[in-house]
């Protein structure tokens, strides 16, 4: 006979209820394996950790929220799919679909009890996660499991600004100061941010062929260079013929901030649509300003110095700096 399946939320309800809890603006956070996860992420995370089976040619895109996930998803998709979908083509999927609708968010799929969907994806699979490296399923982090991970990070000061604007979509009266404080003391979704970044930094130092570490600011400075690194890392560098045809520039152009923000599908109210189901967001919410240094318009020099000092102390001696 068939036993009725419990949702991950039902299955792990007791475990989640026993975890330390904090409220941060609109989110209930739970301390799980050293990180403050939104409560509704935890059951899916547990299932992901237990049941995910990586394939050797998988590429997992990882990020701290608001650090360039959308852009990385677009660039990786355009690069990986360039044979089937030439980046300059007017019919490219990224001209019709938000990047979040092109690449599945693993955590969300597991939370929804839909992991069969991941099994059905053809290889090579591209997926993304907001979990820190230390919370990824063990086979992902071993050479035997062998899948590749690309991480994008960003100056935490700009992350705070981006996060505040994003959260204000759901809570318009949220103060910048409250968001700033929660980042500084680490009680923020997927926080502390420095531990998240360090988890991937250490992995990239230990296994550079398996973990690629990118910075949003470097991508802004040299988008073409980042696309070439992505292609090489994914095992398919741009050929001389592709280079000569301008394919790298075409990927950069297709995924540019202005280009994506201006696409019909990503405009405010477009089709009433949303990206994601965890906490569905209007698609235009993923394209705000797309620059480095906007923190200067939101925080006092004292606040900036304070967050810089915290981050500097946490990263001291690791070889990583912002
Ligand atoms: P800002 O709020 O500073 O503008 P995430 O995708 O991880 O949610 O991060 C969102 C941030 O990336 C936002 O930053 C957003 O504007 C920026 N972004 C989105 N698409 C981008 C693109 N194609 N190029 C550069 N930045 C992009």
pLDDT tens digits for range 53-100: 999 999 999 999 999 999 999 999 999 999 999 999 999 999 999 999
How many angstroms separate the alpha carbon of residue 288 from the centre of ligand 1? 6
- For a mutational test of ligand 1's pocket, the pick from 287, 289, 297, i.e. the residue with the most ligand atoms closer than 8 A to its C-beta, is 287
* CA Rg value for the chain: 19
Whole-number pLDDT of residue 276: 66
- What ligand 1 atom has the least distance to the C-alpha of 260? 23
How many angstroms separate the alpha carbon of residue 43 from the centre of ligand 1? 28
Kindly tell me if the per-residue pLDDT of 5 is higher than 90. no
Instruction: Provide the ipTM.
Output: 0.99
23 forms beta bridges with: 28
Cβ distance 57 to 147 under 8 Å? yes
How many angstroms separate the alpha carbon of residue 91 from the centre of ligand 1? 23
Cβ distance 93 to 102 under 8 Å? yes
Nearest CA to ligand 1 atom 24: 257
Cβ distance 140 to 147 under 8 Å? yes
Ligand 1 pocket list (CB less than 6 A): 63, 65-71, 74, 158, 161-162, 165, 255-257, 260, 286-290, 294
Q: Beta-carbon neighbour count of residue 59 at 10 Å?
A: 22
CA atoms of 183 and 162, how far apart (whole Å): 12
CA atoms of 8 and 81, how far apart (whole Å): 32
How many angstroms separate the alpha carbon of residue 277 from the centre of ligand 1? 19
Cβ distance 146 to 56 under 8 Å? yes
Which residue stretches of the chain are H helix?
8-11, 13-17, 42-51, 69-80, 106-111, 116-120, 156-168, 176-184, 193-206, 216-221, 223-233, 240-244, 247-254, 257-262, 301-315
Nearest CA to ligand 1 atom 8: 66
- What ligand 1 atom has the least distance to the C-alpha of 287? 16
Cβ distance 207 to 144 under 8 Å? no
CA atoms of 281 and 287, how far apart (whole Å): 12
pTM: 0.96
Closest by CA position to 130, among listed 62, 195, 191 = 62
CA atoms of 295 and 297, how far apart (whole Å): 5
Kindly tell me if the per-residue pLDDT of 1 is higher than 50. no
Out of 130, 165, 196, 298, the active site residue is: 130
CA atoms of 251 and 238, how far apart (whole Å): 11
Cβ distance 70 to 101 under 8 Å? no
How many angstroms separate the alpha carbon of residue 227 from the centre of ligand 1? 16
Could you report the per-residue pLDDT of 140-174, keeping only the tens digit for each?
998 776 799 999 999 999 999 999 999 999 899 99
Q: Is 165 a catalytic residue?
A: no
């Amino acid at each position: 006979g068939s036993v009725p399946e419990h949702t991950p939320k039902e299955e792990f309800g007791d475990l989640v209820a026993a975890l330390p809890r904090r409220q941060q603006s609109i989110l209930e956070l739970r301390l799980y394996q050293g990180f403050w996860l939104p409560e509704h992420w935890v059951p899916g995370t547990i299932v992901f950790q237990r049941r995910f089976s990586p394939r050797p040619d998988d590429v997992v895109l990882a990020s701290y929220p608001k650090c360039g996930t959308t852009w990385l998803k677009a660039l990786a998709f355009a690069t990986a799919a360039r044979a089937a979908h030439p980046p300059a083509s007017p019919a490219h999927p990224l001209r019709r679909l938000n990047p979040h609708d092109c690449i599945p968010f693993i955590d969300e799929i597991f939370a929804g009890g839909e992991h069969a969907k991941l099994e059905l994806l053809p290889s090579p699979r591209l997926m993304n996660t907001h979990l820190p490296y230390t919370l990824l399923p063990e086979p992902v982090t071993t050479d035997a499991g062998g899948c590749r991970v690309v991480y994008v990070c960003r100056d935490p000061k700009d992350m705070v600004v981006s996060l505040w604007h994003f959260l204000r979509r759901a809570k318009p009266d949220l103060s910048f100061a409250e968001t700033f404080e929660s980042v500084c003391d680490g009680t923020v979704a997927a926080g502390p941010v420095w531990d998240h970044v360090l988890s991937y930094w250490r992995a990239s130092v230990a296994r550079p062929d398996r973990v690629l570490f990118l910075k949003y600011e470097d991508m802004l400075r040299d988008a073409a260079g980042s696309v070439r690194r992505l292609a090489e890392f994914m095992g398919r560098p741009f050929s001389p013929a592709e280079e000569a045809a301008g394919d790298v520039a075409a990927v950069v152009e297709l995924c540019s901030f202005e280009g994506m923000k201006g696409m019909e599908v990503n405009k405010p109210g477009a089709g009433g649509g949303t990206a994601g189901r965890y906490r569905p967001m209007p698609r235009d919410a993923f394209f705000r300003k797309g620059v480095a240094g906007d923190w200067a318009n939101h925080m006092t020099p004292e606040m900036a110095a304070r967050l810089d000092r915290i981050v500097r102390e946490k990263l001291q001696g690791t070889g990583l700096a912002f």
